[in-house]
Structure formats: structure tokens, C-alpha cells
Amino acid sequence: MQVFNNPFHKLDIPANTELPHLFTYPFHYTPHPLCLQAATRVQDYLASRTDWEKELQQGKMFGVLVVKSPEEGIGFLAAFSGNLCGMNKIPYFVPPIYDLLSPNSFFPEEEEIINKMNQDINRLVNNPDYLFLKEKINKKYHEIESELTSFRQEMSRAKANREEKRKLSPSKEELADMIRESQFQKAELKRKERKAKEDINNIQQDINRYEEIINRLKTERHQRSIDLQMRLFRAFRIRNARGEERDLVEIFQDTPQRIPPAGAGECAAPKLLQYAYLNGYQPLAMAEFWWGDSPKSELRRQGHFYPACRGKCLPILSFMLQGLNVEPDPLVVEAATHHEPTIIYEDEWLAVVVKPAGMLSIPGRSHAESVQTWARNKYPSANGPLVVHRLDMATSGLLLIAKTKAIHQNLQAQFKNKTIRKRYVALLDGRPAKAKGVISLPLAPDPLDRPRQMVSEAHGKPALTRYEVLNNDDPSPGFTRVAFYPLTGRTHQLRVHAAHPEGLNSPIVGDALYGKPAARLYLHAEQLEFIHPQTNQQISLESKADF
């Protein structure tokens, strides 16, 4: 057995506690009571480490894995993602899958070489002679441009003067003089341009000597970085419950990205499973929680549990869980449950239905029923895409269905022109600071954890939401009922705007991505107003939420 200061922690099991029958599906779960107990123990430990307070305040993901040991009984393992206080080996926690900080690792030596190359590049880029030459060539460009512009203006004036003289019937000698003047000026312009090009080339040659070295170092640095990263990925030998082993390159080779992202294999979940497999522990349940401040772009709350990230961990955990009996994906189970939209308006051109929570708007990767497939069966003679807009699977409420392509195009144009009005009602876990207002936070997909969205000033698209608190005392203390009026239609807009600290700082109840899981996501599209494409009448419909 491999031992690293024995990171196995015994759990006190209440008499009525039922052990998990299936292992946790890590991408959508409700933490098992034993995971909650283990997480509390880890959080108490973190609170006791006052020497880590500043580091922990910056925020980090931690994980717990409840395991069964043949000798020690039921206990848990703990891990952190990445490094903690500049270390990747801390006695309370399991060790990394591959210790890239070890003096025996190839990584520190190669990283030192790359760091030295960075220093060499920075010295060359900031070399006073190089900077002087770049400033010199810029000044020369301005001088040449000014001189040539002035000379061309002089040529234009001379040409205009010659045109005036030609109107006065000049003699042959005068015409010859004008031709010679024009030819001389054209030749002089070419001489000036050649001289300017020579002056620029002379300076540029001196600059090129520096830039050839800089570019050569950058190319070598880039290749060394790629080689180091690939070598590192090969060093991460990942186990699964069957005892099979693959490196990260092999695991990611059949994924869309093909190349593992930076930091792959260093998250808490893979560390936990790897240690359990290597040491003969039987994994029972797992959970990951955030500790510390939230990053500015992402939404993380201290003590809240979060699913494993998909960009880094989905391929890794999909391999590592092979051989375990794992819970089915709750979202797939929910989507496969029989749902039936309720029609609240219908005529020969369109219909408006109430989509139940848990039903897809359009077909997904599973074969679960969606409003689109339901509508295709309901209206077999309809042409066009049918569903005009979408609601998240977890969101309930009003959805427009067009029975013809022309009606569909008209309604989509109304959405594009922002003439369709929508009102959502939600239950928030918290109290917004203001009773009403407008939230403006640009949103972009999180490339490493889709479908999560992140707030990004640099890469996000504008997202605006008007909101209004409906009743601060309804339905219970700590919860707030609010109306949302989305002015744009970004993915997860209302969910992020509700949860983000710069938004309402109050996640929607049941939001497993940005808040805490519950029986459902308490978000419902309750009002819809649009102009009927055929009758040109204003249609206003309402469906009250059942919460």
C-alpha cells in the first residue's frame, strides 16, 4: 500500500445511515450525507489553518471522497485542486497524481530553461539599443512622410501654375521649360523616395538583427513549452476501477479538443479516485466544494458544492469511473421522464404551450422527448422549425410554436427587434440589495466547463435584465420572489445575473450550476406578449408558476 502520511480520515457513521448503493455521478449530484459530514470536517480543518488564511481567501476547490477500507472501515479522503500555498503535497490531503514539483521530476529543470528564455527575450525586447532603433525608425518614417508630402504639394502647385501658363499661349521655349520642370520634379521625387527607402532599410537591418534573435528564441520557447506539456501529460498515468491505466494524451485523443487542457489531472476529483484505486479503497461517494472568495468571472460561493468541470474532468472521470456502478445522469433521467406540454393558445398558424420543468425545448444528445419532437408529432402537416425560442431544460413556462415557416420567420424577427415582451418569475435564495433595477453583466461561455457561463468584459456579449422584487416576505424568510424582464437573450442570463455578486448576489433556488441544488429550478416564464403575424393583433398570455 502507498502511504502519504495516511490521508485516510475515519468517519463516525450514525446507526441509521444508509451507505450509497451507486457511486456519485460527478457532473450533477446532491451530496450524500456522508459527503456532507466529510466536507464539514475538511472545512473545520481549513478554518483552523490560520497560516493559510490569506491563500484560502483567494478561493479554491476542494473535494472529499467517502471510501471503504478493508482494515479501517468507512472514512474519507480529501484533496484540493492545483496547488495550495505553493505546494502540491500536504499531509492532510492525498498527493498529486504526478508530482511535477518534485526535484526528481523533469518539469522543474525544463521549466527553469523556459523561464531563462523568457528572461533573455525580455532583456532583448527592452534592450536600450533596440528601443533606440525602433524609436529612430519611427521618427524617420514621420520625417520622410512629412518631407515627401511637402514636396508633392510643391509639385501640385507647380503643375497648377504650368496649367495656367498653357492657357496664355506660351512659346515653344516656355513649353520646353515647363516640360523640363515637370520631368525634373518627377525625377527628384523618385530620388527622394529611393533615399528614404535606403535610410529606412539601413535602420531596419539593425533592428532585424535583434528581432531574428528574439523570434528564434520565441520559436524555441514555444516548441519547448509544447514538448514539456506533452511530456507532462504522458507522465500523468491515470487509473480506473478496473485497474486499467492510460495517460492524459490517450484519454483526450478521442475528444473534440484532442489535446488535454493545461492543468488537466490536477483537479480534486481525479486525485481522490487515483489515490483510492492505488491504495485499495472502495469509492462510495464524492463531492466538491468551493472555499474562499469567488473569482470575478465565475460564480463560486464558499461552502457550496459544485459538479466536476467538463472541459478538464469529463474525459478523465469518464475513464476513471469505468468499473464502478455509477448513478445515471439525473438530467438524462429527468429528460427521459414522460412530459406533456400544456397548450394554452392555439390557432391555425401558431400555438403557445407551457413547457414543464425538466423537458428539453429542442432535441439534445439523449433521445428524450422535447417540445420540438412533441410538436412534430402533434402537428405533422406543419412546415418549418416549429419551436421559435428556447427555455433551459430546468426552466418551465411559455413557449411559442409556429406551424409554418413564414410565421416562424416573423416571430423570430420580432424577437430580434425586441418587440416580444417576456416576464419570468423566480424564487431567489437571498435578498437583493435593491427592490428594482437593471443588471448589465456581459456573458460568455466558460470554455472549460460548458454549459456554464461566465461574466467577461473582454469576451462577453452584452446582457441586460430588468428586475423587480415582488414580495420580500413571500414565501419564507431568506427567500425572495422576483420578476425578471430580460432585455437580451443570452444563455443562462437570468441565472447568472441573479447569482453574480455584481448582479443580485442571490442565486435562483434549485440552480445546481450557480447556486444550490433543489427539487427543481425555481424559474418560470409566466408572461408572453407578441404581435400575431397573421392577424396583426396583440397577443398577451400568462401562465402562473406552481411555486
Does residue 131 share a domain with residue 215?
yes
Spatial separation of the C-alpha atoms in residues 340 and 351, rounded to whole Å: 14
Residue 3 lies in a domain: no
Q: Write the Ramachandran bin of 358: left for phi over 0, alpha for psi from -120 to 50, otherwise beta.
A: left
Does residue 352 share a domain with residue 313?
no
Residue 298: per-residue pLDDT: 77
Strands 396-402 and 523-531, sheet pairing? parallel
Q: Which grid cell is 22?
A: 451507486
> Residue 530 — φ and ψ, nearest 5°?
-155, 165
Per-residue b/e over 406-441, b at no fewer than 16 CB within 10 Å? ebbebbbebeeeeebebbbbbbbbbebeeeeeebeb
Domain-terminating residue out of 303, 327, 351:
327
Spatial separation of the C-alpha atoms in residues 128 and 126, rounded to whole Å: 6
Residue 1: per-residue pLDDT: 40
Secondary structure (DSSP) of 200-269: HHHHHHHHHHHHHHHHHHHHHHHHHHHHHHHHHHHH-EEE-TTS-EEEHHHHHTTSSS-SPPTTTT-SHH
Neighbours of 184 (CB within 10 A): 11
Domain-terminating residue out of 285, 304, 327:
327
Spatial separation of the C-alpha atoms in residues 375 and 84, rounded to whole Å: 52
Residue 421 lies in a domain: yes
Domain-terminating residue out of 327, 357, 376:
327
- Among residues 247, 392, 446, 449, the one annotated as catalytic is 392
Does residue 143 share a domain with residue 284?
no
Residue 543: per-residue pLDDT: 96
Spatial separation of the C-alpha atoms in residues 361 and 335, rounded to whole Å: 10
Does residue 302 share a domain with residue 253?
yes
Residue 2: per-residue pLDDT: 45
> What domain range includes position 34?
9-98+237-327
> Under a CB-based contact definition with an 8 Å cutoff, are residues 339 and 356 in contact?
yes
The residues pairing with 313 across neighbouring beta strands, listed in sequence order, are: none
Spatial separation of the C-alpha atoms in residues 530 and 418, rounded to whole Å: 10
Question: In a structure prediction context, what are the per-residue pLDDT tens digits for the chain, which is 547 residues long?
Answer: 444 468 999 998 877 888 999 999 999 999 999 999 999 999 999 999 999 999 999 999 999 999 999 888 999 999 999 999 999 999 999 999 999 888 889 999 999 999 999 999 999 999 999 999 999 999 999 999 999 999 999 999 999 999 999 999 999 999 999 999 999 999 999 999 999 999 999 999 999 999 999 999 999 999 999 999 999 999 999 999 999 999 999 999 988 888 999 999 999 999 999 999 999 999 999 999 999 998 887 789 999 999 999 889 999 999 999 999 999 988 788 777 767 899 999 999 999 999 999 999 998 776 678 999 999 999 999 988 899 999 999 999 999 999 999 999 999 999 999 999 999 999 999 999 999 999 999 999 998 888 899 999 999 999 999 999 997 555 566 799 999 999 999 999 999 999 999 999 999 999 989 998 888 999 999 999 999 999 999 999 999 998 9
Does residue 273 share a domain with residue 215?
no
Does residue 75 share a domain with residue 173?
no
Assign 3-class secondary structure to 182-209: HHHHHHHHHHHHHHHHHHHHHHHHHHHH
- The residue among 378, 330, 385, 400 whose CA lies nearest residue 358 is 330
> Under a CB-based contact definition with an 8 Å cutoff, are residues 287 and 32 in contact?
yes
Residue 476: per-residue pLDDT: 63
Does residue 350 share a domain with residue 468?
yes
Residue 434: per-residue pLDDT: 94
Catalytic residue at 392? Answer: yes
> Under a CB-based contact definition with an 8 Å cutoff, are residues 524 and 424 in contact?
yes
Domain with residue 420: its CATH number is 3.30.2350.10
Does residue 415 share a domain with residue 357?
yes
Number of domains present in the structure of the chain: 3
Does residue 89 share a domain with residue 132?
no
- The residue among 384, 328, 330, 336 whose CA lies nearest residue 360 is 336
Does residue 58 share a domain with residue 94?
yes
Q: What's CA 280's distance to the chain center, in Å?
A: 36
Spatial separation of the C-alpha atoms in residues 382 and 402, rounded to whole Å: 8
Residue 366: per-residue pLDDT: 65
290 sits in which H/E element: strand 282-291
